[in-house]
Amino acid sequence: ERFADIARQEYTAVGLRVALHPQVDLATEPRWARQTATFGEDAELSGKLGAAYIRGFQGESFGPGSVSTMTKHFPGGGPQKDGEDPHFPYGR
């Protein structure tokens, strides 16, 4: 939460109001290239960390000093068969 609060202050200082993160997919497949951008493989811990991250970007209450987060991805949008990425045709 502290990290996100600092990032929120930096974002708002330069006029950014939307963050295209966090990525809350679970890192359940070691071959998946995007696992390093997640909060790990544990669903409970990832949920707690993701919530703290969002709180840090929103601030005390959502308002003029907040940064909206675009939490990604849809359930099941993480690693696919053989660790392929569903963002690409070969991984769908």
pLDDT one-digit tens code per residue, 4-62: 999 999 999 999 999 999 999 998 888 888 888 999 999 999 999 999 999 999 988 99
Residue 31 CB burial class (10 angstroms; 0-12, 13-18, ≥19): exposed
Domains of the chain, residue spans: 2-80
Structure tokens at 19: 């963050």
Kindly report the pTM of this predicted structure: 0.84
Q: Which pLDDT band holds residue 75 (cuts at 50, 70, 90)?
A: low
Give the Cα separation of 44 and 11 in Å (integer).
Answer: 28
